[in-house]
Structure 1
Amino acid sequence: MRRSLIAVIAALALLGLAGCGLLKSDEDKKIEKLLEEDPVFSVFLRADVTAQQKANLESYLRGLPDVEAVRFETRAEAYQRFMDLWSDDSEFVESVSEDSLPETYRVHMKSTDAVRAVRDGADLANIKNLPGVQDTVVGCLTIDECRKLYEKNPF
C-alpha cells in the first residue's frame, strides 16, 4: 500500500513538473533529434510540368550546397505517403485522389542549418520561380518554429 502511494505521489509530481515546463527539455531533445534526422524540404510540381523542366529543376536542386540527396516522388508515391500519414482518418483519405497530389522533389540536406540557408537565402525564391514549380514547403527548423506551427495547426 505504501509503495502504491509513493508511486501515485511521484506520478503527480512528474505531471506537475511537466505542466510548469520543467520537463520540456526532454521534449526539446526529441524534437531536435527529429529535426536533425532528416532535414528536408519539398518542391511541388505543376501538373503541366515538362520532362525538360523536371531535368532543369533536378539539376538546380542537386547543385545546392550541402545536398545529400534529391528524390523524385510520383503521384502514386505521394498518394501512398498521404494514405499512410492519414490512415486514421478514412473519410479524409477517401476525399483525396491520387491525381490531386502533385509530383514532388524531396531535397534531403546535410543539416537543418543547410535547409535554413536555402529558406532564408535567395535559393528558395529562385526555385519557386523556375518553370514547372507549383510551390515549395520548408517545415519547421527549430523547436520554437515547430511549437508555433503545431499550436496553430494541431493534429
Structure 2
Amino acid sequence: MRMFLTGALLVVAAATLTACTTSDDFDTKLKPQITVLFTDNATAEQKSAVETKVRALPGVDSVRFESSDEAQAHAQDQLKDDPSLAAAVAGVPLPPSLRFTTKDLTSYDAIRKSTFANDVKQMDGVTDVVIQCATLDECKKTLTPPPTR
C-alpha cells in the first residue's frame, strides 16, 4: 500500500510540477520539460551517461540536474497554493533528476516521438522518463477524467 501511495504522490507531483504551454508562448520560461528520474543510488557515471545522451539530442536548450532536496524545495514552491497537497508531498522522498527543455516545439515533438524515453529507461540508474504535455489543450485532455456513464 505504501508503494502505491508513494507512486501515486509522485505522479501527482510530476503532473503538478509540469508547466503546460501553448505554441504561442513556447519561447517563454514555460517551455515543457522532459525529466529523467534517477534511482537514489545512481552513480555519477550513470548520470553523466544520461546527460551525454540528452546533450546529443538536436534542439536541446537547457539541461540541469536536480537533487532530491532541490526536488522537494521545487515541489513545495510549486504547491504553495495547495497546502494539503504540499503537506502530502513533503512526506515523500522525491528522486534526483535531470530536467531539460528544447529550443522549439519542433525539437520537443521530435524527441517525444523518438525512442529516447524508452532507450533512457533501459539505462542503469534510471527509473523513469516524464515527458510533459506540450500544449494547454494536450494537458487538458491528459488530465481531464473521462465522462462517467
Q: TM class by shorter-chain length?
A: 0.7 to 0.9
Largest Rg, 1 or 2: 1
In structure 2, the residue matched to 1:121 is 114
Structure 1 residue corresponding to 2:76, chosen from 83, 97, 102: 83
Match status 1:66 vs 2:59? yes
Contact 1:75–1:99 (CA<8 Å) still a contact in 2?
no
RMSD between superposed Cα atoms in Å: 2.2
**What amino acid is aligned across from residue 144 of structure 2 in structure 1?**
E
- Structure-2-length-normalised TM-score: 0.72
Looking at structure 1, the residues matched to 59 and 23 of structure 2 have their Cα atoms a distance apart, in angstroms, of 19
- The one of the two structures with greater contact order (alpha-carbon pairs below 8 A, sep at least 6) is 2
Contact 1:39 1:111 in 2 (8 A): no
* Maintained 8 Å contact 1:128/1:136: yes
Deviations 1:52-100 (A, max 9, x none): 1011111111111111121111112111110111112223222234761
Percent identity, aligned pairs only, is 31
The residue type equivalent to 2:43 in the other structure is: T
Structure 1's unaligned 5+ residue stretches are 1-29
TM-score (norm 1): 0.70
- Residues 22, 134 of structure 2: 8 Å contact kept: no
Structure 2, unaligned runs of 5 or more: 1-20
**Greater helix share, 1 or 2?**
1
Task: Identify if the C-alpha distance between structure 1 residues 76 and 33 changes in structure 2 by more than 3 Å, giving closer, same or farther.
Answer: farther
